[in-house]
Amino acid sequence: MTTAPAVSRTSLLARYREIRRTTERLCEPLAIEDQVLQAMPDVSPTKWHLAHVSWFFETFLLTPHLPGYEPLNPAYTFLFNSYYNGVGPQFSRPARGHLSRPTVAEVYAYRQWVDRGMERLLAETDSERPIAPAALIELGLNHEQQHQELILTDIKYNLAMNPLHPVYHAIALPRGAAPGPLDWREHRGGLVPIGYDGSGFAFDNEGPRHTVYLRPFRLADRLTTNGEYLQFIEAGGYRRSEPWLSEGWRTVQERGWQAPLYWEWQDGGWWTQTLSGYLPVDLHAPVTHVSYYEADAYARWRDARLPTEPEWEHAAADVPVSGNLQERGIFHPLPVTADAPVAQLFGDVWEWTQSAYAPYPGYRAEPGAVGEYNGKFMVSQMVLRGGSCVTPESHIRATYRNFFPPDARWQFSGIRLAEDA
Ligand SMILES: [Fe+2]
């Protein structure tokens, strides 16, 4: 399922408390009414996320491993199961917004119930004979961190559908200077190792580590900006079929796309929804909320391409994980400031790669329901790398593989160009 972590049980308890507190802190700016919304099938109500992450700990740790544990409400097994067929049937995903009950207060009571169970389990796990596998606890913690990101991406969408443009947090977004012209970092390629082989936590889809052959390539030294993407729009990028994949062009036609998700033309300029409200598009900030189709068409229009995931990972392998990540509390991609050889690899926006999400050679999902976590999604999706402005810093690494269908736009997804050397 996961690589076994080399951490003490006491530090697991501390991390459990901290991650659970962080989740709830992210929800503090929200009204009760905000937390029940589901404005499209792909997003979930905040309340559902809060309950589902608790369900995960209950289902995979407390029920099987904590003697005497009783679920708070047996109906929650069905309501808050996302997609685990090995656990049982699931309530309809697109109908999560129909769940007026349990109330938000009842969901918080459920969290406390699970917390009390986890405190007992982690205390007893601290003994000589652990009663629950540490790797499973780590999986639960990393799962909750994934949902922290989803809470923010989903509430952004839900709030954006309201013409009053509700503000999640009223901070002034830093506005940087115009970045210099895009530059390229050259890589020789050759036989390079890919995949996780460390001693900490990693998801099963990051392994096994293996060797791939890369042709010489160049990677852009920063992300594509809104200003650069606007040139594509103004050159008729959404009106001409040439740069688009067939499926992408069909999607543009069917959905009437003319710009990234959230962009609106108003009073002679482009505006966009942010978690800090409705604002003019910052031309120096990285473009975000573009689909794979848009990222791919933009790259082709620039006579470039998107990187493959081995290229991205090879370029990021020795780069420290730091950047505009969740801990900064900005929750919006920012103009490049670091004078690094290659900037913005971690944080700001997830970077679309041209690699289909597929198992690495030798990959096998774990037996049982927990093996459904990643493996069964390995079709019809593309890999994204590097984390975003809502990804926790302790959650991301160079080998991390995120994946979404090519038409998805509500994640903080953006563009880094590559080209053949
Ligand atoms: Fe989940």
Between CA 377 and CA 386, with CA 382 as vertex, the angle to 5 degrees is 105
End-to-end CA distance of the chain: 38
Per-10-residue mean pLDDT of the chain, 421 residues long, equals: 56 94 98 98 98 98 95 97 93 96 98 97 70 88 98 98 96 91 97 96 96 98 98 98 98 98 97 97 98 98 98 97 97 89 95 98 92 93 98 98 98 98 96
Closest alpha carbon to 336 in 286, 396, 405, 281:
286
Q: In this predicted structure, what is the pLDDT of residue 281? A: 97
| Interval between CA 412 and ligand 1 midpoint (Å) | 18
pLDDT at position 337, please?
87
- Given this model, what pLDDT does residue 4 score? 47
Token pair 């982690």 is at which residue? Answer: 122
Q: How far is the CA of 413 from the centre of ligand 1 (A)?
A: 20
Beta-carbon contacts of 299 under 8 Å, excluding residues fewer than 6 positions away, are 305, 306, 415, 417, 418
Query: What is the 3-state secondary structure of the chain?
Result: CECCCCCCHHHHHHHHHHHHHHHHHHHCCCCCHHHHCCCCCCCCCHHHHHHHHHHHHHHHHHHHHCCCCCCCCCCHHHHCCCCCCCCCCCCCHHHHHHCCCCCHHHHHHHHHHHHHHHHHHHHHHCCCCCCCCHHHHHHHHHHHHHHHHHHHHHHHHHHHCCCCCCCCCCCCCCCCCCCCCCCEEEECCEEEEECCCCCCCCEHHHCCCEEEEECCEEEECCCCEHHHHHHHHHCCCCCCCCCCCHHHHHHHHHHCCCCCCCCEEECCEEEEEECCEEEECCCCCECCCCCHHHHHHHHHHCCCECCCHHHHHHHHCCCCCCCCCHHHCCCCCCCCCCCCCCCCCCCCCEEEEEEECCCCCCCCCCCCHHHHCCHHHCCCCEEEECCCCCCCHHHCCCCCCEEECCCCCCCCEECCCEEEC
pLDDT number for residue 6:
46
**Distances in Å between the alpha carbon of 17 and those of 70, 106, 190?**
21, 20, 44
Query: Rounded to two decimals, what is the model's pTM?
Result: 0.96
Q: Which residue has the tokens 């969740």?
A: 326
Q: How many CA atoms lie within 13 A of 129 on its CB side?
A: 1
Per-residue tokens: 311? 């290229």
Distance from the alpha carbon of residue 149 to the mean position of ligand 1, in angstroms: 11
Residue 147 CA, ligand 1 centroid: distance in Å: 7
List residues bridging with 219 in a β-sheet: 185, 418
d(CA 230, CA 248): 18
C-alpha 142 to ligand 1 mean position (Å)? 10
CA of 91 from ligand 1 middle (Å) equals 14
Q: Calculate how far, in angstroms, residue 174's C-alpha sits from the geometric centre of ligand 1.
A: 32
How many Cα neighbours within 13 Å face the side chain of 300?
Answer: 15
CB 32 within 8 A of CB 104: yes
Q: How far is the CA of 55 from the centre of ligand 1 (A)?
A: 9
Distance from residue 399's CA to the centre of ligand 1 (Å): 20
- pLDDT score of 366: 87
Rounded distance from Cα 387 to ligand 1 centre (Å): 17
Task: Decide if 110 contacts 102 (C-beta within 8 A).
Answer: yes
Distance 188 CA to ligand 1 centre (A): 39
Query: Nearest-5° angle of CA 402, CA 367, CA 144?
Result: 40
Give the Å distance between the CA of 81 and the centre of ligand 1. Answer: 8
